[in-house]
Structure 1
Amino acid sequence: MSNLQSNDHHVHNAQRTARHVEKLEWNDGLLLGHGPMDDEHREFVNVVMALRYSTVETALAALAAVEAHLISHFDLEHEWMDKTAFPDVYSKCHRDQHDEVLASVFQVHQLAAIGQIGLGGVHRLAQSLMDWFPGHADYMDSSLSAWINGKTHGGQAVVLRRNLVYEERIPDGDPKNDVHAKAA
């Protein structure tokens, strides 16, 4: 794939992955079928929600927890990409998103530590992470999970999701495939 196509892929993904999330809760709809990745995602939900509901007294510790989790989480995903020879074009886009997220977290943490960002700014970061994560997991991490399962087990995982009445998907931009456009 050429650089232009790679950049178009990255821009398209960035446009389709952010959607406002009122409350991020772990549920079976977030399962991707690779146990260690699902465990990392469950922990992500926990630390981000702790950040979202942090107080003036707990915000810096919550930021440190998010930062530490993301460094470990992203390093682990990068290791999986390297060990399984995940295709470079997808790996680059995936890693670029991780770098952008970490840069935002580092910046907010540094500014909060010196008092240049207050609790509102910390909560805005948490909201941004809440909005970003479902699309990233559904699009980027699900393809990595499928790749890992194919490489290590020779096939795709079967993911059983309990108690889901409706699983909303991110629209692909085509109105005929968008459940919200059909309802309008």
Structure 2
Amino acid sequence: MNAQQTSHNDHHAHHAQRKTKRVERLEWSDALLLGHGPMDDEHREFVQVVTALRNSTAHTALTALDAVEKHLIAHFDLEHAWMDKTGFPDVYSRCHRDQHDEVLASVFHVHQLAAIGQIGLGAVHRLAQSLMDWFPGHADYMDSSLSAWINGKTHGGQAVVLRRNLVHEERVPDESQAEAA
């Protein structure tokens, strides 16, 4: 195994160990901004289509699945084009693309089974929940590095991202800490 393969495997293993946190509600906010406008626009749309899937009914689930699938294909193709156009390092590009492939495979599988009636609304909602749980970590870990790379290549520096009205969870004291103060 060469050094580049080892680096890719180490990177992939590191990513695989990251834990996803259950997201009760996925809403677009400044907390999700990464500083590359077109990517932020794609992410805003992702939040919309996945929220619609999570809130779908038995009558709207297939339409919502179709919308998620179409969005993800276009979204991932666009990110792949940015990687290619800007010379994003191959070791990170492969890991990023692998994650996209895994997500698309899951969406395709659920969509196919739902279309033939082999799974119901519960499975569709579980897929939506999985996408909601996956997205923040993917955006923070994978897409933020791509955004920074693109901004560095196209603008010669990093974007300044102004996020309004944010409270960092770990900086908010819990009740016992507030009483002690």
Assess same fold via TM > 0.5: yes
TM-score, with normalisation over the residues of structure 2?
A: 0.90
How far apart in 2 are the matches of 1:11 and 1:127? 24
TM-score, with normalisation over the residues of structure 1?
A: 0.89
| Offset from partner CA, 1:77-107 (integer Å, 9 cap, x none) | 0000000000000000000000000000000
How far apart in 1 are the matches of 2:147 and 2:99? 17
Contact 1:149-1:157 within 8 A present in 2 as well: yes
Identity of aligned residues (%): 82
Contact 1:17-1:136 within 8 A present in 2 as well: no
- Aligned with residue 148 of structure 2, among 136, 146, 149: 146
User: Runs in 1 of length 4+ with deviation above 3 angstroms?
Assistant: none
Which protein has the larger Cα radius of gyration, Structure 1 or Structure 2?
A: 2
How far apart in 1 are the matches of 2:159 and 2:76? 22
Measured on the aligned residues, the alpha-carbon RMSD in Å equals 1.3
How far apart in 2 are the matches of 1:7 and 1:52? 33
In structure 2, the residue matched to 1:62 is: 64
SS of structure 1 residue aligned to 2:18: helix
Letter of the aligned partner of 2:160 in structure 1? V
Instruction: For 1:83-122, list aligned pairs within 5 A.
Output: 83-122=85-124
Measure how far apart 1:7 and its partner are: 1.6
How far apart in 2 are the matches of 1:11 and 1:19? 18
Distance verdict in 2 for CA 1:43–1:89, change over 3 Å: same
How far apart in 2 are the matches of 1:33 and 1:105? 27
In structure 1, the residue matched to 2:14 is: 12
SS of structure 2 residue aligned to 1:163: coil
| Offset from partner CA, 1:84-143 (integer Å, 9 cap, x none) | 000000000000000000000000000000001100000000000000000000000000
| Offset from partner CA, 1:1-40 (integer Å, 9 cap, x none) | 4323312211211321522111111010100000000000
Q: Unpaired runs of 5+ in structure 1? A: 169-182
In structure 2, the residue matched to 1:76 is: 78
Contact 1:17-1:132 within 8 A present in 2 as well: no
- Aligned with residue 53 of structure 2, among 51, 54, 58: 51
Aligned length: 169
Letter of the aligned partner of 2:15 in structure 1? N
